[in-house]
């Protein structure tokens, strides 16, 4: 059964006017796709839509079903931010997703603390520890410039340690790394901006009324 046949049956079952149906099925099915996602229908199509559909559909799927975030195609600033924050939340992010993201990063952002955190995480995922590194404590790994002090931390926790060092105005060997590391691991110490640090980005991304909010959407619940 084709997608259009399935959609038509769904729409007909709730007696939507045929003119509305034809209008919705136009424009690459964007309205229909958004409506289906909001209603939890045609879930077997989400993997394809989140990669190949229009920005409003991809955004809605990622927001509604976060497990699809790694599949976003990095075509908008919002998607880059969404994948970045997904990666920062994990101590062992998916290497393929991390490498795709880092390849998309503007070189001008290489001094950004969050990007540095992900670059450090990438190093721990792509090379093994040396014989000497295996004998070192976390503090010694930090002081030596090894990336492996980050191995058990999430990207956000790495950022917290890097910020603490930056704010301390102390040399790497003088910095109280152990205290910063323990603070980063303390759930009560999480930064308030961690939940949604890019609140205004989606307003910039879709600076026009989303077709997903049209009257058709609530009818398919």
Q: How confident is the model over 90-144, as pLDDT tens digits?
A: 999 999 999 999 999 988 888 999 999 999 999 999 999 999 999 999 999 999 9
pLDDT the model gives residue 60: 96
Same domain, 8 and 44: yes
Asked if residue 57 is part of any domain, the answer here is yes
* Tally of structural domains, the chain: 2
Asked if residue 83 is part of any domain, the answer here is no
Same domain, 108 and 166: yes
- Which regions of the chain are under pLDDT 70? 1-28, 190-221
pLDDT the model gives residue 88: 97
Asked if residue 115 is part of any domain, the answer here is yes
Mean pLDDT across the chain: 81
Task: Note whether 77 and 105 are within 8 A (CB).
Answer: no
Asked if residue 81 is part of any domain, the answer here is no
d(CA 199, CA 127): 35
Same domain, 44 and 115: no
Asked if residue 197 is part of any domain, the answer here is no
Task: Give this prediction's pTM.
Answer: 0.74
Asked if residue 82 is part of any domain, the answer here is no
Same domain, 52 and 110: no
Same domain, 55 and 138: no
Query: 3-state DSSP call for residue 131?
Result: coil
Tell which residue, 17, 61, 60, has the closest CA to residue 215. Answer: 17
d(CA 156, CA 165): 14
pLDDT the model gives residue 152: 95
pLDDT the model gives residue 121: 97
pLDDT the model gives residue 208: 44
What is the extent of the structural domain holding 109?
94-190
Same domain, 219 and 165: no
């Amino acid at each position: 059964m084709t997608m259009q046949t399935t959609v038509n049956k769904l729409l007909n079952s709730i007696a939507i006017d045929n003119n509305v149906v034809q209008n919705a099925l136009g424009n690459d099915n964007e309205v229909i796709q958004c409506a289906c996602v909001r209603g939890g229908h045609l879930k077997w199509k989400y993997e394809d839509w989140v990669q190949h559909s229009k920005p409003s559909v991809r955004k809605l799927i990622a927001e509604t079903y976060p497990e699809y975030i790694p599949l976003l195609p990095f075509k908008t600033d919002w998607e880059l931010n969404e994948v970045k924050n997904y990666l920062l939340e994990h101590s062992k992010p998916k290497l393929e997703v991390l490498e795709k993201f880092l390849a998309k990063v503007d070189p001008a952002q290489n001094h950004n603390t969050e990007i540095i955190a992900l670059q450090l995480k990438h190093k721990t995922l792509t090379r093994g520890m040396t014989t000497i590194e295996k004998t070192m404590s976390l503090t010694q790994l930090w002081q030596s410039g090894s990336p492996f002090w980050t191995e058990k931390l999430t990207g956000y926790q790495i950022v917290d340690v890097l910020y603490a060092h930056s704010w301390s105005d102390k040399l790497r060997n003088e910095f109280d790394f152990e205290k910063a590391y323990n603070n980063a691991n303390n759930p009560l110490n999480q930064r308030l901006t961690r939940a949604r640090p890019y609140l205004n980005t989606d307003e910039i991304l879709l600076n026009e009324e989303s077709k997903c909010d049209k009257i058709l959407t609530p009818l398919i619940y």
